[in-house]
Structure 1
Amino acid sequence: MGKPVEAAEPLKVGIIGCGAIIAQYLTNFRRLDQIELVAVADLDPVRAQAVADDYDGVRAVSVDELLAADDVDLVLNLTIPAAHADVALKAIAAGKSVYGEKPLAATTAEAQQVLAAAREAGVVVGCAPDTVLGTGIQTARKAIDDGLIGAPISATATMVTPGHERWHPNPDFYYQPGGGPLLDMGPYYVSALVTLLGPVVSVIGAASHTRNERTIGSGPRVGETVPVNIDSHVTGVLVHASGALSTLFMSFDAVKSKSPNLEIHGECGSLVVPDPNHFDGDVQLFALGAEDWQTLPVSAGYVDSGRGFGIADLAATPPGSEPRAGGQLAYHALEVMESVLASANSGSAVQIQSTAARPEAVELTTLAAQIAEVSS
């Protein structure tokens, strides 16, 4: 894939799932000429209708009607993780490409079914997070590619919060199988690590939890307790094919960390990388022999990007090529996370069976340039 280019025609998108996350997609869809939103559906028709009322040219329909619609090219799957595979498979069976919120599916077994069905149907699978396409991760990627830290040796990825129940009115699924800090937030970090350092070949993990129940801190269920049926503190070491070692620290138990969300260390320098849950942020370099950290100029990635840019990138990807925020990367990240948890349970290292090509870098691209660029 070369530099992403404008699709010949806007990709017509239908959204299934009209929960809180949809607002971020809608904001960016209005800015992206590559995408035309045509329909929305939700198990709650009122929520779907509210979106249609606020977005010109969009109709609220049932899930079955959306899947059958001739004018929907791609289904954006914003359902809960447990439903990701089922909705994706139905969309693929209807002959539509699909782009999902993370993770690709609740398990690698389900994700395999999705990718196999897509190959058979000749449609494309994309998956969040597309934060890796923003200027934060991509500027760090360029610094590595330009040799500013020499050969990468290691990375640390840190995500610490005392728990989503403190702010989320319905946090139950975070503490059930398929939830937890690694599967919830890990896709941002693992996708960034693969984008920066390449695929993972083996992992070893350990995990624990401190409480058997959590108390909801806001909303109509405030004070209600929910059971904890997963490990809420996970650590892991990822061995990359390049030989670099990444250390994960993902917690719903600890309170706060002063450590950067991502650090990359090489033989000639170290990088502080912005939060991979965000699209931008400063990249800092401490070069061997330097006296202080240096903030690098923004040099790569989609400028002023946000959720939905991965779909625009998919729309501009040549047929037969894997999108940068594609199913192969999402599957590899899911297998890495699932294997860290399996290793924590068994006490043994786990070999990663899948691989994913390190996605091609994103040149520094403004929104206007992205829309106007034409394939040469």
Structure 2
Amino acid sequence: MSEGTAAAPVPWTTASLASPLRVGIVGAGAIHRAYTQTMARMPDVAIVAVADLDPARAAASAAEHPGVRASGVDELLAADDVDLVLNLTIPAAHAEVALRALAAGKHVYGEKPLAASVASAHAMVDAAAGAGRVLTCAPDTVLGTGTQTARHAIAAGTIGRPTSATAFFTAPGHELWHPDPDFYYAPGGGPLLDMGPYYVTALVHLLGPVTSVVGAANRARAERTIGSGARAGVTVPVDVDTHVTGVLEHASGALSTLVMSFDTWRADLPNLLVHGTSGSLSVPDPNGHGGDVRVAGPATDREWVEVPPAAGYVGAGRGIGVLDAARALAAGTTPRASDAVALHVLDVMATLLQAAQGGGRADVSTTCEVPPLVPLTPVG
């Protein structure tokens, strides 16, 4: 497949944009520090405010970052010095916060998944288009050197024509380490909607959009016991399937086998492999930005050989998608972590769950353009 088509122009102007892009964070939970650490290295981006339903968490975050103020959510959304809202709330709140931010005239970058339902995601995409604002979404891990170098190798014909892929995430459950894992087992959670975005987004970047799926799913337990923190020993109900497997049919004709599980104690499976007519490619875990890409085939005597980094943001971490969005806004192009990709990925996962419940095959209603390849680009 090709390296992706050029980004289409979008209906916004760059004249009123501040430089650096001023970011307000909504949600100061466990993931937000990964974002702030990366964004601190970005000259194109400046965090100005942070808000959380727990004012103490917002204050603690602001105290760690000179020049950043703690704020209420309403105050942050109304602030004149916030250009983009970084939405790090739980999945059930993604749509509400994003819609409010868009209505307030802000651009939005959100944590994955785009929303807890496809209908809510469509509403967000429509609202962004109507407001002339940019809606972008994690995961941005696919913009690092791992997935991008693998994509560069595929485009260069290293493994011939891609024909299939396998993608696995297997774990016993997030309650073993997360002090508040409730949302992982509520609608909008589960291994597919929580971890699947990393793997499905990588598969879309590598093999193109998905046209149909076949799925099966189950859940091993009706409740989970929290293993750490102040709530250790508390049980939470399981309202979603915790082991999901499926086959994705890509428009290119390639087939991907996907397994996402919170019911597996040890599997020793590769994270992501892509197979072609003249070789196989080992892609590093798409839950991270870097890692070693390896190829095996006739030219390597079927042994794995490392592929040097050839594309992607070098030294990237969570938040690199905000930098990519800032540069796209300045250039008047579409961010690579676009709402179209995020909507399609969510639709693929929702359709897979639908197929699993029905015990058959289902067509995916959306599609997307594969974003342009990221040139080998240092961060900061």
Correspondences of 1:206-355 after superposition (within 5 Å): 206-288=216-298, 290-291=300-301, 292-317=303-328, 321-355=333-367
Structure 1 stretches of 4+ moved >4 Å: none
TM-score, normalised by the number of residues in structure 2:
0.93
Q: Is the 8 A contact 2:172 2:265 kept in 1?
A: yes
Length, aligned pairs only:
364
Q: Does 1:27 align with 2:37?
A: yes
SS at match of 1:84: helix
Percent pairwise identity: 60
Letter in 1 for 2:62: A
After superposition, the C-alpha distances for 1:193-232 in whole angstroms (9 at most, x for unaligned) are: 0011110011110001111121221112222222212111
The separation in 1 between residues aligned to 2:315 and 2:269, in whole angstroms, is 26
The separation in 2 between residues aligned to 1:200 and 1:326, in whole angstroms, is 16
Q: Is the 8 A contact 1:148 1:287 kept in 2?
A: no
Letter in 1 for 2:151: R
After superposition, the C-alpha distances for 1:33-73 in whole angstroms (9 at most, x for unaligned) are: 11011111111111111122221111111111111111111
Deviation at 1:122, TM superposition (A): 0.1
Letter in 2 for 1:300: A
The separation in 1 between residues aligned to 2:177 and 2:65, in whole angstroms, is 28
Structure 2 counterpart of 1:374: none
RMSD: 1.3
Letter in 2 for 1:182: L
Q: Is the 8 A contact 1:215 1:222 kept in 2?
A: yes
Correspondences of 1:1-376 after superposition (within 5 Å): 9-288=19-298, 290-291=300-301, 292-317=303-328, 321-368=333-380
After superposition, the C-alpha distances for 1:229-285 in whole angstroms (9 at most, x for unaligned) are: 211100011000000000101111111222210000000000110000000001110
Deviation at 1:287, TM superposition (A): 1.6
SS at match of 1:195: helix
SS at match of 2:252: coil
Structure 1 regions of 5+ residues with no counterpart? 369-376
Deviation at 1:322, TM superposition (A): 2.2
Letter in 1 for 2:134: V
Structure 1 residues 251-260 or 239-248, which shifts more? 251-260
Structure 2 regions of 5+ residues with no counterpart? 1-5, 8-16
Q: Is the 8 A contact 2:18 2:83 kept in 1?
A: no
TM-score, normalised by the number of residues in structure 1:
0.94
